[in-house]
Structure 1
Amino acid sequence: MAGSLDGVVLVPVADQAPGQVGTRTRFTYHERDGHIWAEYAGGDVVRGHLVGTRQGDRIDFRYVQLKTDGRTASGHCVSTVAELPDGRLRLEESWEWESQEGSGTSVVEQPLS
């Protein structure tokens, strides 16, 4: 199993569509006893929160966010935690909006120091 996400900052490796998370978004993760939560902001997202569970290297969570245009959005995501050769953590994500149309995949990882 890859290392703990507690206190880890992750960033998207690529931009998504406008109004979604992008390379300027920063996620700060917390982990305790199989529970995962995070705060995020940046780019088109004013404030976002996610909460879920971790079993091994699989994370299942729901997210909600406030966008710069004043709209809110929510969805569901399943991620796989991987450790990169240099020790940084990466999440490979499959997500789906619940409040609007759309789904996709994305990757977030610890930035280089």
Structure 2
Amino acid sequence: MAARSLDGLVMAPVEDQAPGQVGTRTRFTYHEQDGVIRASYAGGDVVRGELVGTRAGDVLDFRYVQLKTDGETASGHCVSEVVELPDGRIRLLETWEWESRPGKGTSVVEQVTS
């Protein structure tokens, strides 16, 4: 059974990535409707970011683009698995790769409740 909708959820990384990238101070606000997902994000070294893509069951597939505080822009592709935690919050297990520069990795973001 698919996890519940991401619409309106605020998510944050559970740990910092490499310097100058998304980190624990970054907040993602998700929207979902009819299999389409999007999110705006900002915080830490990210001035503004946007992601857009699709959801099929518990798998998100999206592209993202962001502007950092140093003026650099970057874009990439991410596939995430949606997991519902025992406390009812949502976790995303992400596998991402930059398309505008070298680099790839994995990360975890979780629903923020406060």
TM-score strictly above 0.5? yes
Could you tell me the TM-score, scaled by structure 1's length? 0.98
Distance of 1:61 and 1:19 partners within structure 2:
21
Distance of 1:79 and 1:110 partners within structure 2:
14
Which residue of the partner structure matches residue 82 of structure 1? Answer: 83
Distance of 1:83 and 1:58 partners within structure 2:
13
Amino acid at match of 1:80: E
Distance of 1:24 and 1:67 partners within structure 2:
13
Aligned residues: 113
Distance of 1:73 and 1:46 partners within structure 2:
12
- Any stretches of 5+ residues in structure 1 without a counterpart? none
RMSD of equivalent CA atoms: 0.6
Which residue of the partner structure matches residue 37 of structure 1? Answer: 38
Which residue of the partner structure matches residue 16 of structure 1? Answer: 17
Amino acid at match of 1:44: D
Identity %: 78
Deviation, structure 1 residue 19? 1.3
Which residue of the partner structure matches residue 69 of structure 1? Answer: 70
- Any stretches of 5+ residues in structure 2 without a counterpart? none
- Secondary structure, in 3 states, of the residue corresponding to 2:83? strand
CA deviations over 1:22-66 (Å, ceiling 9, x no partner): 000000000000000000000000000000000000000000000
Deviation, structure 1 residue 111? 2.1
Could you tell me the TM-score, scaled by structure 2's length? 0.98
- Secondary structure, in 3 states, of the residue corresponding to 1:16? coil
